[in-house]
Amino acid sequence: MKADFLRHSHSLKHSREKIISFFLMLSGYFSLIIFLLIFVFLFFEASKAFISVDPLSFIFDHNDSPTGSFNKLFEWYPTSENPKYSILPLLAGTFLTAVFSTLISSILGIISGIYLSEIATPRTREILKPLFEFFSGIPTVVIGFFLLSAGAVFFQDMLGINQKFNALLASTGLSLIIIPIVASLTEEALRAVPDHLRVEAYSLGASKWQTTRLVILPAAYSGISAAIVLGFSRAIGETMIVLMASGNAGELSFNLLQSIRTISATLASEMGEVIYNSEHFFALFVLGTFLFIFTFLLNVAASFLSKRSARWIRRL
């Protein structure tokens, strides 16, 4: 009787595990299908833009001067009398804010991660770690409103610039949401390094700073790189902060003190007002497709670096 009961119990447990595995597999395939359908839809709608718009117009427009010279125009003004669809100003604005904000947040985030992992006491870590998670969860519209009301005036008075909303202000706001991400992931990457490496370094006479700089950081290099890539991906796709603080000027500029326009802000501000099935409508899908593919590739790179870090640490 007892043996039959145990067999029956084991059979029920095995059946439940098979059902759970089936639903997990179904969920994975469903997510993959949804992802592919989104990509196909974006690509299909974006391809319609090239029917009525010269593909070269997405790089630059041109006007012929009375002297016969050929002037290239790098502008995004899709609603003007002569629509201009150059995406280079949007790419420049997107990468200008994303690169600068990632640079700031990488420095401060890695320093914070090192402090949390290697220097802070357990009690201090228990206090600071939830604070980082709290700041990462603040709605970006709140940060954008803060920059709009206080940050813009502060930077304008401090730097003596004419344009109140610019790439520097937007980059500062982006860095505020990226620092907690980089800090948290850096701390996890450093704490994943086996303790015996620290003990061996200390036994050779290395100080805590020497151990961190020469042993721990190189061992966690891939994990830290993944944190930076994920932060950069977040900056590329962020909408509300750059929409509220960048000035939204659709002209090509690489100056942090000038107003710029990003791809995500353009999609957010124009998609709701664009005429359906117009050139402008399909041009926005070109932007959306590019943003979708680029952020996907960044996430793939971050996943690769994260797995590489895990494999490397397992070998230590």
State the Cα–Cα distance between residues 270 and 3, nearest whole angstrom.
69
State the Cα–Cα distance between residues 135 and 130, nearest whole angstrom.
9
Residue 157 · residue 251 · CB < 8 Å: no
Residue 103, both tokens: 């640079």
Residue 273, both tokens: 């007002």
pLDDT of residue 289: 92
Looking at 76-185, which runs of residues are DSSP E strands? 76-77, 84-85
Q: What is the mean pLDDT of each run of 10 residues along the chain (316 residues)?
A: 55 73 87 90 90 83 56 80 87 93 94 91 87 84 89 86 89 93 92 88 88 89 90 91 89 88 91 87 92 89 80 70
Residue 83 · residue 63 · CB < 8 Å: no
Residues in the chain: 316
From the CB of residue 25, how many other CB atoms can be counted at a distance below 10 Å? 10
Q: Does domain 84-315 have CATH number 1.10.3720.10?
A: yes
